Amino acid sequence: MLDRLANTDINARRISHVETCFGSSGKSLANPSRVLVGEGVLTKLCRKKPKQRQFFLFNDIIVYGNIVIAKKRYNKQHILVLKHVRVEEIPDNSSSVEVNDGNDLRNGWLIISPSKTFAVYAQTPMEKQEWMTHMNRCIEEERRKAGMAGNVLESAPAWVPDAEAEECMRCHKTHFSTIQRRHHCRKCGYVVCNSCSSNKAIIQHQSAKPLRVCDVCYDVVTNPSTTSVTSSNTKSVALFSMPRQIGAIADSSDSDDGNDTNQ
């Protein structure tokens, strides 16, 4: 079905419209074999709070961005290649995330990739099911064509939202305030204090530049045989020992600053 839509005028016009909506800040999406499968507004769990984002599902990529004018103008384009993506359902009863009216977010799932991992939420169970079904079909087809079926994908961590951590998740001593700032470990996604995240390390599949990591993850990255670490000012901490509610995970960028246009 999707193959028949490729190279058709209607598909070309739809893709051109998406490009126009992103303007000069976006990247060209034209591709002879690319088909726009669907689009819609989803609530994306960002670092500070849930925010609405416009998503476009193509047969080979998923594109999303900030909404400037609904259905007319978007910016801060991000592109994820589907053959490197997987999705996981978030059960409604596992989510602890609230929106402004105090109601829990429901109908969510994870979008997991080497560069970004975050939770999104649909308005209804049916909308969620449609998104997940179409995404899984496109992912499976792209991985099949690339000979990647069955391969285990590397994935970026999902960040714990700021609001979920009142104290450092490593030392449990530092309480965050306007003076004691929160930092996120790029390896495990925990919210940590400055003292527990003074090092940087290169994390494969995320960046060629050194990124801030907590002391536990720094020891693991620099010494892969390490399973726990004991520092001079903290007790022994097992790697990734802190429990995490599956609903309480966020993207590493609260405002989705900058474009991510790798295709």
Q: What CATH number is associated with residue 85?
A: 2.30.29.30
Q: Is residue 197 part of a domain?
A: yes
Residues sharing a CB contact under 8 Å with residue 110, sequence separation 6 or more, in sequence order: 87, 88, 89, 90, 117, 118, 119, 158, 246, 249
Domain limits for position 177: 158-253
> For residue 247, what pLDDT is reported?
40
Q: CB-based burial of residue 83 (10 Å sphere; 0-12 exposed, 13-18 middle, 19+ buried)? A: buried
> For residue 164, what pLDDT is reported?
85
Q: Is residue 151 part of a domain?
A: no
Q: Which residues of the chain have pLDDT under 50?
A: 100-101, 227-248, 254-255
Q: Is residue 8 part of a domain?
A: yes
Q: CB-based burial of residue 161 (10 Å sphere; 0-12 exposed, 13-18 middle, 19+ buried)? A: buried
Token pair 């002879």 in the structure block, residue: 32
8 Å CB contact between 187 and 213: yes
> For residue 231, what pLDDT is reported?
36
> Could you tell me if 57 and 104 lie in one domain?
yes
> Could you tell me if 130 and 176 lie in one domain?
no
> Could you tell me if 162 and 140 lie in one domain?
no
Encode 103-131: b = buried (16+ Cβ within 10 Å), e = exposed: eebbbbbbbbbbbbbbbbbbeeeeebeeb
> For residue 236, what pLDDT is reported?
30
Beta bridge partners of residue 238, listed in sequence order: 228
Report d(CA 2, CA 36) in Å as an integer: 9
Tens-place pLDDT, residues 25-54: 999 999 999 999 999 999 999 877 899 999
Domains in the chain, number: 2
> Could you tell me if 89 and 177 lie in one domain?
no
Q: Is residue 218 part of a domain?
A: yes
Encode 173-205: b = buried (16+ Cβ within 10 Å), e = exposed: ebebeeeeebbbbbbbbbbbbebbbebebebee
Is pTM beyond 0.75? Reply is: no
